[in-house]
Amino acid sequence: MRRFGFFAALMSLLLISVPAFAEPVVIKFSHVVAVDTPKGQAAEYFKKLVEERSKGEIKVEVYPNSSLYDDRAALEAITMNAVQMAAPSFSKFTTFVPQLELFDLPFLFNDNDHLHKVLNGEVGQKLLGMVGKKGMVGLAYWDNGFKQVSANKPLIKPEDAAGLKFRIMSSKVLEAQFKALNANPQVLPFSEVYSALQQKVVDACENPLSNFYTKKFYEVQSDLTMTNHGYLGYMVVTSKIFWKKLNDQQRALLTQAMKESTEYANKLAVELDLKYLADIKAAGTTKVHDLTLEQRQAWKNKLMPIYPEFYDSLGKDLIEGALAAGK
Ligand code: LMR
């Protein structure tokens, strides 16, 4: 009995003295898109860099295709440290930092250079700071690309969209955008878009080409118009609770891996946009329409007048700062 007691005490002492770092730090990274998208690939790349460099001390588990959370639930989970990383599109931050809807404003950016000036400049830094007050840490911005509109009829003039039910992400700006077209915006999680289109719950949507192709929207939309009217990008966030628990070395390793994954994501966003345009055309089920400069100007004329509606909620300075960066 006595010997057994001594043995048990020795065992528990040994267990207690096993160093804390023997258990790997686990990062659950939740996202909603397919693996073969810029976000999906960049998340895998981040995993690879982190696991190699930490020599197993940090493990990254990537959950694509809304398999763990849809975007809005993911953000709540981040604030509670139930999931450690996510990269939702800006529109999904609406209940936390509505100012991120700035990026939903139609025709705000001339091109990627303009966009990156804003993201990497004062406006982008200010927005990262705002997220920091909401139980998260903003780590990076990842591109997907510019959005195109699709439906089961050609959308060439802005008037062609009138009366159609458009799936939107939860964003007041996107709601106003489709109302300006006399269309009916309906908020739906990304995971439900395909079936909503198939069952004609909605008629139309807006997506960057990688999402359109990898979620097979070409099976349920006969026409796609290259409007390039709005940007779709992501803020990669981590849980503040999680971030604070890490040591300086771990934070430095993750920060560097994120920097490299961001370069990777943004390069892929450009490459995959071209690849998926070719793939959509090759699928042969969706007609792709290009717009002339005049036709595109007509969409601008219809949509840009919504800006003043958002001077109060987004901040006139934020909108003007973003526009000024393109001059
Ligand atoms: C959407 O809901 O359409 C996008 O936010 C999906 C994504 O993450 O690209």
State the pLDDT at residue 259.
98
| Residue bearing tokens 């908020």 | 187
- Separation CA 29–CA 80 (nearest Å): 14
Higher-confidence residue of 284 and 13: namely: 284
Kindly give the distance from the C-alpha atom of residue 32 to the centroid of ligand 1, in angstroms, as a whole number: 7
- The average confidence (pLDDT) of the chain is 93
**The dihedral of CA 22, 136, 129, 231: what is its sign?**
positive
- Whether 33 lines ligand 1, by a CB cut-off of 6 Å, is yes
Kindly give the distance from the C-alpha atom of residue 158 to the centroid of ligand 1, in angstroms, as a whole number: 23
- Whether 190 lines ligand 1, by a CB cut-off of 6 Å, is yes
Name residues whose C-beta falls within 8 Å of residue 289's C-beta, 6 or more positions apart in sequence: 154, 155, 156, 223, 224, 225, 226
Segment 3-12 shows an average pLDDT of 50
Domains and CATH numbers, the chain: 21-324 (3.40.190.170)
- Separation CA 105–CA 102 (nearest Å): 6
Out of 32, 143, 206, mutate this one to test ligand 1's pocket (max ligand atoms within 8 Å of CB): namely: 32
State the pLDDT at residue 3.
52
- Whether 171 lines ligand 1, by a CB cut-off of 6 Å, is no
- Whether 144 lines ligand 1, by a CB cut-off of 6 Å, is yes
Out of 65, 85, 89, mutate this one to test ligand 1's pocket (max ligand atoms within 8 Å of CB): namely: 89
| Residue bearing tokens 């050609």 | 154
- Whether the pLDDT of residue 83 is over 70: the answer is yes
Q: Which amino acid is at 85?
A: M
Instruction: Give percent of the chain with pLDDT exceeding 70.
Output: 93
The least confident of 39-53, 66-80, 204-218, 253-267 is 66-80
pLDDT, tens digit, 9 for 90 and up, residues 255-293 = 999 999 999 999 999 999 999 999 999 999 999 999 999
Instruction: Give percent of the chain with pLDDT exceeding 90.
Output: 91
Looking at the DSSP bridge assignments, the partners of residue 58 are 25
- Whether 75 lines ligand 1, by a CB cut-off of 6 Å, is no
Name residues whose C-beta falls within 8 Å of residue 82's C-beta, 6 or more positions apart in sequence: none
CA dist 4 → 1, 9, 10, 14 (Å): 5, 9, 10, 15
pLDDT, tens digit, 9 for 90 and up, residues 303-324 = 999 999 999 999 999 999 999 9
